[in-house]
Structures are given as structure tokens and as C-alpha cells.
Structure 1
Amino acid sequence: MQKAVKLSIAAACLLMISACSYLKFPGVYTLDIQQGNIITQDMVDQLKPGMTKRQVRFVLGTPLITDTFTPDRWDYYYSLKDANGKLTKERLTVFFDEEDKLARFSGDFRAENGDS
């Protein structure tokens, strides 16, 4: 009998501990998780065709992904998972021509004049 009580108390404690990660307790602080490059529309508006790779890197920062097989393409990714679990993703891909000048870009942002 006493062994059954101890076992049930241990099981109840284990159940309560495992529920801590499932239930949202009030007052418990959770962090926002940011990954990648923060890109804003103002930064994208500064991009002009014919810019060098160095100028683009100055405006946008170092790309998150530089493909070895296609060095004329830079990928910028950003994701944010807030404390409530909402996930936000943004993507920007920059393409250069043979002379290492900015040719075009595509993704979740638009050029200021409407074409990218």
C-alpha cells in the first residue's frame, strides 16, 4: 500500500513537471528567437541597378547564404519566432551580372519604383 502511494506521488510529480513545457504559465518570460539578416524596406529602397557587390554588402550586410556554384546570387533570410509562437519569415535574393554589378533582386520586398 505504501509503495503504491509513493509510486502514484512520483507519477503525479513527473506529470506536473512534463506539463510545464506544454502549459503557458502567467508571468513566465519567453524569448523572441531571431535568425538571419534583418532586412527592411528602407534598405531595399537603397538598392540600385549597377551597384557593386561591395556596395550591396554595405547596404544589406553579409549575405546569409553565398552559393559556391552560383557566386552571382546572394540570399538573405530572416525569421522571427515571437514569445507567442508566431513565426514570421522574410526572404530576399540578389542577383549580379558578369561584371559583378547588381542586376536584379526578388523576394518579399519590392523596389521603390515598383519593379525589381
Structure 2
Amino acid sequence: MYRQLATACLVLSLAACSSLEFPGVYRLAIDQGNIITQEMVDQLEIGMTRSQVEYVMGTPLVRDTFNPDRWDYIYTLNDRNNDKQEHHQLTVFFQDGKLSEFRTDIKPSEQKPAESAAAEQEAK
């Protein structure tokens, strides 16, 4: 009787551990931080104001207390079902309230010369 009770308590305590994974149990993909997409990076332009950058990218995840001219956007996705991890980072720098530089692991897409010429024609 005591052996069965002790075994039941041991099984219940092991079930409470997060490291114990049961086969066939669905685990949610967990997004953390700010989503950073190619389209968002393409919209960033040197000379934008802080409010314009915040409109495009959203509120930064980290605003450096000691350097108010630097904002950091960080995105992490852990999908345990597919063993997939995704991590993106974007750092923007301001000078005199305008965007002076940004660094990211997502490269801005190149505009084709024909597209930029067509955009200039429409602007006139």
C-alpha cells in the first residue's frame, strides 16, 4: 500500500517538472519581442524622425537609459514542435532627433533601377 502511494507521489512530482516531455503533446511556438520583417526594414530611411521610426517599427523593446539616441528591437521565436529558432535584431541610432544609422541582420531589399525611375516620374 505504501509502495503504491509512494510510486503515485513520485509520478505526480515528475509530471510537474517542465523538463519531462510526453510524446505527442503539442507545444506552442512562443514569440518574444518586436516582430521585425523585411517590409519594415525597407521602410526605414535615414533622416526619419523618432515618431516616424516608432510608427514603422513599433515601440522599441530596449531604450538605453545611458544612450537615449539608441533603440534596440529584438525578436525571438522558439518553435519546439519543429525545432526551429528564429532571432532578429535591429538597432537604430538617432542624431539631433533624426535617424542617422540602423544596423540589422535583415538586409534591406534592393530597388530595381526601373522601379526607382518610375517612382521619380510619379512624384513629378
Question: CA shift at 1:86, angstroms?
Answer: 3.7
Change (3 A) 1:89 1:10: farther
Equivalence for 1:16: 11
SS in 1 for 2:91: strand
Equivalence for 1:66: 63
Change (3 A) 1:15 1:25: farther
Question: d(CA) in 2 for partners of 1:110 and 1:86?
Answer: 21
Question: CA shift at 1:87, angstroms?
Answer: 3.0
TM-score, normalised relative to structure 1:
0.78
Question: CA shift at 1:25, angstroms?
Answer: 2.6
Letter aligned with residue 41 of structure 2: V
Alignment of 1:1-116 (within 5 A): 5-7=1-3, 9-17=4-12, 18=14, 21=18, 22-26=20-24, 28-84=25-81, 86-97=84-95, 99-113=96-110
Alignment deviations for residues 68-101 of structure 1 (CA, whole Å, 9 cap, x no partner): 211110000111111335432211101111x211
Change (3 A) 1:55 1:86: same
SS in 1 for 2:101: strand
Runs of 5+ unmatched residues, structure 2: 111-124
RMSD: 2.2
- Structure 1: 4+ residue segments shifted above 6 A: none
TM-score, normalised relative to structure 2:
0.74
Question: CA shift at 1:15, angstroms?
Answer: 4.0
